[in-house]
Amino acid sequence: MFGQNSWLLISKGDTLNASIQIKKKKSEDLIFFKYAYHHDWHLITADNAEAVELPGKEKYISVKLPKVEKKVWAKCLFDGTYKLVKYKLAYYIITETDVYLLEPPTNNKSKHRFKGVYGSLFFEDIDFDVNSLSYNSQSLVKPLILFHQKNNLWYKDYNRYVKKDASVLLEGSYANVDGGMNLRFNDYFSLSGQAFTLGIHRSVMYPDFSNKISLSVGAKVSAYAFNNYVKNVSVGKTNYVDINHYYFSAGGNGAVCFRFLDLSSVKLSLCSGIDVLKMFSSDQQIRLETLINNVVETSDVDLGVDDRILFYQVNQLLIEVPDFSKRLQAGVGVSIPLNKKVSELNTFGINHSIMFSVIYKF
């Protein structure tokens, strides 16, 4: 056995201080070692060693496989009474006496042959639906784990699983909204209103990558209420508009959140994302009053809604107080339109908004 720290090379029971290196050549694994304080790397073949292990990471075993002329290094993905190994593109199950090829499903004829091997090996030993198996290592180890657990046998799974923390977030928010409409001869009116939004999001964090960054995607619906009497002053005239109407929007959103303060008493996060929305409303008729030379002219205008796909950048500051609740968050944010302002005449659109949100995590 050659080894340095956690690097182990098992060979005839000997122990030497060495480093190990694994390289690929035409999809085949080659294993080299060098003695401590030496510069030269030496190739060690599968004929003169039994196994190589990088504890907690990888293991390779020396094995004679069907249809392969000599012993090769096969990557061990599951070690126990039954072993699952991979050589080039094919998987094999190894016992003390036999080696079973799990034939790759390259065509319709061989599509289910690897499942038949599992059926013949474990038909009477475990309750498992082999038809649910996929041809990848994380799926192929499932019957092996079940068999070893049922029979209290030692095993080790060398698959690398992507750890993730996922949760569903329900968000409700209230916002002060700026709206605008373009009437007649490019007379632009700014309006203020309120919005109520309900959203549901799927949030995922990958702790192995970062325990501070999370990603979320979701959907939301909003209702807007505008009740304004506003004026627009231009050369030689003043326009007045009275509006009282409701608007709605629906769409999806995605965001990235970064937790920059993570204390036991308080947690603060910054979230930045994009909302993609579509607005809905029945056409409405509003009254337009124009004052020219102290004479008031009154007319009715048919006002439509901005029918473009709308994009908004949304930035939020979220706070969580674990001592109060580990499921609730509160936040403030701003929504900034990425589309140009409404340019079509007699059309209403939503601009900036400042929001307050409450988020519940399931």
Mean pLDDT of 192-203: 96
Mean pLDDT of 126-130: 85
pLDDT of residue 315: 97
Q: How confident is the model at residue 5 (pLDDT cuts 50, 70, 90)?
A: very low
Mean pLDDT of 6-19: 58
Lowest mean pLDDT among 134-143, 253-262, 284-293: 284-293
Mean pLDDT of 312-332: 95
Structure-block tokens of residue 86: 């991979």
Contacts 24+ apart (CB under 8 A), 52-58: 52/8, 52/9, 52/10, 52/20, 52/22, 53/8, 53/10, 54/6, 54/7, 54/8, 54/20, 54/22, 55/6, 55/8, 56/6, 57/158, 58/22, 58/158
pLDDT at 222 over 70: yes
Alpha-carbon torsion, ordered 251, 252, 256, 257, to 10 deg? 70
Percent of residues, the chain, with pLDDT higher than 70:
91
Q: What is the largest CA-CA distance in the chain?
A: 108
What gap in Å lies between CA 9 and CA 51, rounded to an integer?
6
Residues 6+ apart with CB under 8 A from 326: 320, 361
pLDDT at 301 over 90: no
pLDDT at 12 over 70: no
User: What's the whole-number average pLDDT of the chain?
Assistant: 86
pLDDT of residue 7: 57
What gap in Å lies between CA 238 and CA 18, rounded to an integer?
88
Residues 6+ apart with CB under 8 A from 122: 128, 130, 143, 147
Most confident of 2-11, 116-125, 141-150: 141-150
Q: How confident is the model at residue 2 (pLDDT cuts 50, 70, 90)?
A: very low
Convert the pLDDT of each residue in 53-104 to its tens digit: 776 678 888 889 887 888 888 999 999 999 999 998 889 999 988 999 998 8
Mean pLDDT of 316-341: 94
pTM summary value: 0.64
